Amino acid sequence: MATTKLWGGRFTAKAAEWVDEFGASIHFDQQMAAEDLEGSIAHAKMLGQQSIIASNESEQIVAGLKALQQDLIAGKLTFDVKNEDIHMNMESLLTEKIGAVAGKLHTARSRNDQVATDFHLWVKHRLPHVLDVITDLQQELLTLATRHAGTIMSGYTHLQHAQPITYGHYLLAYFDMFQRDYDRFEFNQLHTDILPLGAAALAGTTFPIDREFVADELGFGDIYHNSLDAVSDRDFALEFLSNAAILMMHLSRMAEELILWSTYEFNYIELSDDFSTGSSIMPQKKNADFAELVRGKTGRTYGALMALLTTMKSLPLAYNKDMQEDKEQVFDVMDTVIASIKIFTGMLNGLKVHEERMLASTQDDFSNATELADYLATKGVPFREAHAIVGQLVLQGLQTHTPLQKTPLATLQAAAPQIEDDIYHVLQSETAVNRRTSIGGTAVENVKKEIARHEKELEAR
CB of 195 to ligand ARG, least distance (A): 17
Question: Binding residue for ligand ARG (CB under 6 A) from 98, 149, 230, 323?
Answer: 323
CB of 238 to ligand ARG, least distance (A): 15
User: Can residue 233 be called a binding residue for ligand ARG (CB under 6 A)?
Assistant: no
User: Can residue 79 be called a binding residue for ligand ARG (CB under 6 A)?
Assistant: no
CB of 229 to ligand ARG, least distance (A): 17
417 by Cβ neighbours in 10 Å (0-12 / 13-18 / 19+) ranks as exposed
Nearest to 169 by CA among 441, 355, 458: 441
Question: Binding residue for ligand ARG (CB under 6 A) from 47, 115, 121, 248?
Answer: 115
User: Can residue 29 be called a binding residue for ligand ARG (CB under 6 A)?
Assistant: yes
Pick 112 or 192: Cβ nearer ligand ARG = 112
Pick 25 or 154: Cβ nearer ligand ARG = 25
Phi, psi angle pair for 220, to nearest 5°: -85, 140
User: Can residue 25 be called a binding residue for ligand ARG (CB under 6 A)?
Assistant: yes
Where does this chain touch ligand ARG (CB under 6 A) — which range of 188-196, 262-270, 318-326, 415-423? 318-326
Q: How many other CB atoms are there within 10 angstroms of residue 456's CB atom?
A: 10
User: Can residue 91 be called a binding residue for ligand ARG (CB under 6 A)?
Assistant: no
What is the SS3 string spanning the chain?
A: CCCCCCCHHHCCCCCCHHHHHHHCCHHHHHHHHHHHHHHHHHHHHHHHHCCCCCHHHHHHHHHHHHHHHHHHHCCCCCCCHHHCCHHHHHHHHHHHHHHHHHHHCCCCCCHHHHHHHHHHHHHHHHHHHHHHHHHHHHHHHHHHHHHCCCCEEEEEECCEEEEEEEHHHHHHHHHHHHHHHHHHHHHHHHHHCEECCCCCCCCCCCCCCCHHHHHHHHCCCEECCCHHHHHHCCHHHHHHHHHHHHHHHHHHHHHHHHHHHCCCCCCCEECCHHHCECCCCCCCCCECHHHHHHHHHHHHHHHHHHHHHHHHCCCCCCCCHHHHHHHHHHHHHHHHHHHHHHHHHHHHHCCEECHHHHHHCCCCCCCCHHHHHHHHHHCCCCHHHHHHHHHHHHHHHHHHCCCHHHCCHHHHHHHCCCCCCCHHHHCCHHHHHHCCCCCCCCCHHHHHHHHHHHHHHHHHC
Question: Binding residue for ligand ARG (CB under 6 A) from 58, 192, 324, 336?
Answer: 324
Pick 197 or 255: Cβ nearer ligand ARG = 197
Pick 28 or 266: Cβ nearer ligand ARG = 28
CB of 236 to ligand ARG, least distance (A): 15
289: left (phi over 0), alpha (psi -120 to 50) or beta: alpha
CB of 30 to ligand ARG, least distance (A): 11
Pick 88 or 177: Cβ nearer ligand ARG = 88
Q: Report, as residue numbers or ranges, the catalytic residues.
A: 158, 279
Pick 25 or 407: Cβ nearer ligand ARG = 25
CB of 227 to ligand ARG, least distance (A): 14
Of the CA atoms within 13 Å of residue 365, those in its CB half-sphere come to: 17
User: Can residue 366 be called a binding residue for ligand ARG (CB under 6 A)?
Assistant: no
Site for ligand ARG in 123-142 (CB under 6 A): none
Site for ligand ARG in 94-113 (CB under 6 A): 111-112
Pick 7 or 383: Cβ nearer ligand ARG = 7
Where does this chain touch ligand ARG (CB under 6 A) — which range of 182-190, 291-299, 317-325, 443-451? 317-325
Pick 319 or 366: Cβ nearer ligand ARG = 319
CB of 28 to ligand ARG, least distance (A): 9
Question: Binding residue for ligand ARG (CB under 6 A) from 38, 57, 85, 450?
Answer: 85
User: Can residue 319 be called a binding residue for ligand ARG (CB under 6 A)?
Assistant: yes
CB of 111 to ligand ARG, least distance (A): 4
Where does this chain touch ligand ARG (CB under 6 A) — which range of 134-142, 175-183, 320-328, 348-356? 320-328
Binding residues for ligand ARG, rule: CB under 6 A, are 25, 29, 85, 111-112, 115, 319, 321, 323-324
